[in-house]
Amino acid sequence: MSDLPSRPLGRLRDVELTRLRRVGERRGAELADLGLRSVLDLLQYYPRTYVDRSRWAALDEVALGDQVTVMGEVQRVSARRTRQGRSLVQVVIGDGSASMTISYFNQPWRERQLRAGSQVLVFGMVDEYRGTRQMTNPATDVLVGSEDAEPSAPRRVGRLVPVYPTSEKLSLSSWEIGALVEEALRRAGPVLDPWPAEVVSALGLLDRSAALWAIHAPRDQADRHAARERLAFDELLRLQLALALRRRQVELFGHGVAHPVAAGALGPDGNDSLVGRLVARQPFALTGAQRRVLDEILDDVAAPVPMHRLLQGDVGSGKTLVATAALAAVVDDGFQGALMVPTEILAEQHLASLRRDLGGLTRRDANALGGHRDVEVHLLSGRIGAAARRATLAGLASGHVDIVVGTHALLSESVQFHRLGMVVIDEQHRFGVDQRAVLRDKAWGSHEGTVDPDLLVLTATPIPRTAALALFGDLDRSVIDELPAGRVAITTTWAPTPEAATNAWQRVRSEVAAGRRAYVVCPLVEEGGKVEATGAVAEFGRLAATELAGLDIGLVHGQMPAAQRDAVMEDFRAGRLGVLVATVVVEVGVDVPDATVIVIEDAWRFGLAQLHQLRGRVGRSTWPSWCYLLGDAPSSDGERRLEALVATTDGFALAEVDLELRGEGAVLGSRQRGRSDLRLASLVEDTELVERAHQVARDLVAAGAADAAAVREELELLGEDVSYLFKS
Ligand code: ADP
Ligand code: MG
């Protein structure tokens, strides 16, 4: 490496770690095992934590039961097997004030890792063995290995000592990693700042080179925080820029179709439009929020740029009707719509509701007698027979079918549209970003070449704003933030004991006696499928013989033939059954307004969003409703979920709790694939930074500044092909 002035960070990806003085072949291989191959990898291998030299406890001060961090030098190491055959490595550490024994059970590799003379940092609880204070299996970091050279300036002078993640595989100590980082930083020289100087100074951010030094060797806490903020912002801005550019791409090159009929559909002159007729035939008026959101959608549909919109709303806020109206808007213009949902049950239910809402309505058709014909809604799922499938496929290709509802079967290559105008994806977070792209990029339709359909993405339950920005920052957002009037609150009760549960069963009986209906949701089983079905069958039998004896009870689970399940659902909907015992197949979308009680067994096994969805099966009319969460929670996370659910019915608030409990890794999950660039930034803690990055990204793109060579090179750090996003 030569010392060029200001090189782009990305260039360091091409410099192999073996170029460093201290990295030979053996060490290079070891680092590669951890995924560290280039100088860039190393610079982004951030400390796991920092220890404040002035804060840790002296060994002669610690008392039994204390949870402490101590630092000392390893004096002796011994290894043996206990009488039970477990491996035991014991280490004596001393810090000048006293010494202490540390015992590691079943970690035989500690014998290799911890050598006399190493400096270690140990965090754990002080216990006692045969009258002597000691620690058992504490978290341990090797700060300085026994063979490390004498620490050199400047990193050793700071009060904060970085602690790098080390592992069983890595023989390097935290200090050695620090020394490597330091060499890499020194030899890399100044790193180019890819963002315009005004942006960096307006946001009060640290310079990038300074931030890289400071994250690895901070002078003090303020230094460390400033470094973290700068580097976290860079991560978020890269992500948001990619999203903003993707959005621009759609605006520039998307071949959308303008559907002018959509423009006035909700207005006074829209009464004849399909949307107008659809809305007018509802037994209720749209809520203000539904109207506002539908207006936003119809504006997009009327415009020539393809729509890319996320529709969020709480459970029961009436997203389905809005989506139906969106589909109707393109059908009215002679185009087709597709609604993709994650499960067969949901597909069948949406089919029924679309047929109910659009049934008997006509659309313009030059080929038909009188110029009009009925709107045709079809199903495409794994369950329909071969003949029905062929008919639907033919109808889609010819244009006879106006709307198709289906599962991922819609992604199949055999699906060809005549003129696809709108894709609605429901319950998006069951699908991935990847599938969204497949659906959008699929060569839909052959009407005058390839056209990009309008895209509307619906989420089942709200997602936190930061997560929405990180996942869907390329989409416009509409939020239905209002429930239909007259909805009565759902009373949620957590009944941890069987005694407490008797109230739940009494409530089921009294509500069914009053003509209402109840769901009983069976426990979630890890292995799923057949096991779950077996459990549901058993629970159904038990309830029928005990708590719910004498009631008309039905059973549905995922392993049942579709026809049988439909019959049961229909009996429940119509009131011939008072109680429906079910597995999570009822989780999403099932809409039976007369249902007023839901009892969820072993509720702690379910995720928060799932519980909120399940609870949303009741409270769908003006009847007061109840949700009972049965079972004790064996974990504190489970407890927090159930407490949160009791405390609020606000899905947006619950989404925040969920993100906090599960962390962004779980929330973004594989949907973030290829963009797992968030090492420092946190969607939970950095909400303001996320917003700022989102705004800065849009501003830079709007100002044309995003096409600068430096920005382009920076975005290559995302590890995916982004070249197509830029103007050449
Ligand atoms: P979501 O999909 O948002 O959870 P749904 O679209 O299933 O909610 O709507 C829940 C229930 O509310 C349905 O029975 C629907 O017919 C009804 N509904 C929708 N909009 C309104 C409204 N404006 N006023 C009264 N009821 C409505
Ligand atoms: Mg719904």
Find out whether the beta carbon of 320 lies less than 6 Å from any atom of ligand 1. Answer: yes
Domain that includes residue 361, residue range: 260-303+317-459
How many other CB atoms are there within 10 angstroms of residue 608's CB atom?
Answer: 22
375 occurs within a structural domain: yes
Q: Please say if the pLDDT value at position 153 is more than 50.
A: no
**Tens of pLDDT, residues 328-359:** 999 999 999 999 988 787 888 899 899 999 99
Find out whether the beta carbon of 462 lies less than 6 Å from any atom of ligand 1. Answer: no
Pairing of strands 579-582, 517-521: parallel
One domain for residues 55 and 131: yes
Find out whether the beta carbon of 287 lies less than 6 Å from any atom of ligand 1. Answer: yes
Q: Which band of pLDDT confidence, cut at 50, 70 and 90, is reported for residue 589? A: low
364 occurs within a structural domain: yes
Burial class (CB in 10 A: 0-12, 13-18, 19+), 384: buried
One domain for residues 390 and 498: no
Q: Which band of pLDDT confidence, cut at 50, 70 and 90, is reported for residue 28? A: very high
673 occurs within a structural domain: no
Q: Ligand 2: distance of its center to the CA of 424 in Å?
A: 12
Rg (CA), the chain: 31
Cα gap 552→299, rounded to integer Å: 48
Q: Please say if the pLDDT value at position 645 is more than 60.
A: yes
Q: Ligand 2: distance of its center to the CA of 316 in Å?
A: 7
Q: Ligand 2: distance of its center to the CA of 306 in Å?
A: 24
Residue 445's pLDDT is 44
One domain for residues 499 and 618: yes
Mean pLDDT of 699-703: 94
Residue 53's pLDDT is 66
Q: Please say if the pLDDT value at position 151 is more than 50.
A: no
The average confidence (pLDDT) of the chain is 87
Among 620, 623, 649, 652, name the best residue to mutate to test ligand 1's pocket (greatest count of ligand atoms within 8 A of Cβ). Answer: 620
Beta bridge partners of 478: 311
Domain boundary among 132, 156, 180: 156
Distances (CA, A) of 311 to 317, 428, 719: 11, 10, 29
One domain for residues 273 and 385: yes
Mean pLDDT of 168-197: 87
Q: Which band of pLDDT confidence, cut at 50, 70 and 90, is reported for residue 702? A: very high
One domain for residues 521 and 454: no
Beta bridge partners of 406: 340, 380
One domain for residues 24 and 72: no
Q: DSSP code of 191?
A: B
Residue 56's pLDDT is 75
How many other CB atoms are there within 10 angstroms of residue 149's CB atom?
Answer: 11
Mean pLDDT of 692-716: 92
Domain boundary among 103, 130, 156: 156
Residue 682's pLDDT is 86
One domain for residues 534 and 391: no
Q: Which band of pLDDT confidence, cut at 50, 70 and 90, is reported for residue 446? A: very low
**Tens of pLDDT, residues 99-110:** 999 999 998 989
One domain for residues 497 and 624: yes
Q: Among the bound ligands, name the one nearest to the CA of residue 594.
A: 1
Residue 394's pLDDT is 96
What tokens does 77 get? 């190491």
One domain for residues 606 and 639: yes
Q: Ligand 2: distance of its center to the CA of 343 in Å?
A: 12
Residue 409's pLDDT is 85
**Tens of pLDDT, residues 595-627:** 999 999 999 998 898 899 899 999 988 899 999
Domain boundary among 138, 156, 174: 156
| Strand spans (E) along 557-702 | 579-582, 595-600, 625-630
Find out whether the beta carbon of 593 lies less than 6 Å from any atom of ligand 1. Answer: yes
Find out whether the beta carbon of 318 lies less than 6 Å from any atom of ligand 1. Answer: yes
Between 395 and 676, name the one with better pLDDT. 395
Q: Please say if the pLDDT value at position 140 is more than 50.
A: yes
Distances (CA, A) of 650 to 133, 604, 615, 647, 653: 50, 19, 11, 9, 5
Give the range among 330-339, 461-470, 686-695 with minimum mean pLDDT. Answer: 461-470
Number of domains in the chain: 4
One domain for residues 41 and 97: no
Q: Please say if the pLDDT value at position 376 is more than 90.
A: yes
480 occurs within a structural domain: no
CATH number at residue 571: 3.40.50.300
Which of 47-61, 79-93, 173-187 is most confident?
79-93
609: nearest Cα among 656, 563, 570, 565: 656
Q: Which band of pLDDT confidence, cut at 50, 70 and 90, is reported for residue 430? A: low
Q: Helices 319-331 and 344-358 sit at what angle, rounded to 10 degrees?
A: 60
Find out whether the beta carbon of 428 lies less than 6 Å from any atom of ligand 1. Answer: no
**Tens of pLDDT, residues 535-581:** 889 999 999 999 999 999 999 987 888 788 888 988 998 999 999 99
Q: Among the bound ligands, name the one nearest to the CA of residue 325.
A: 1
Q: Please say if the pLDDT value at position 399 is more than 80.
A: yes
Find out whether the beta carbon of 282 lies less than 6 Å from any atom of ligand 1. Answer: no
* Residue identifier of the C-alpha nearest atom 25 of ligand 1: 484
One domain for residues 147 and 20: no
Q: Please say if the pLDDT value at position 2 is more than 70.
A: no
Find out whether the beta carbon of 321 lies less than 6 Å from any atom of ligand 1. Answer: yes
CATH number at residue 115: 2.40.50.140
Which protein residues have a CB closer than 5 Å to ligand 2 (ion)?
A: 320, 589
Find out whether the beta carbon of 178 lies less than 6 Å from any atom of ligand 1. Answer: no
**Tens of pLDDT, residues 225-284:** 999 999 999 999 998 999 899 889 888 887 888 999 898 888 888 888 999 999 999 999
Find out whether the beta carbon of 319 lies less than 6 Å from any atom of ligand 1. Answer: yes
One domain for residues 275 and 357: yes
96: nearest Cα among 134, 58, 133, 68: 58
Residue 256's pLDDT is 85
Q: What is the separation, in whole angstroms, between the first and last Cα of the chain?
A: 30
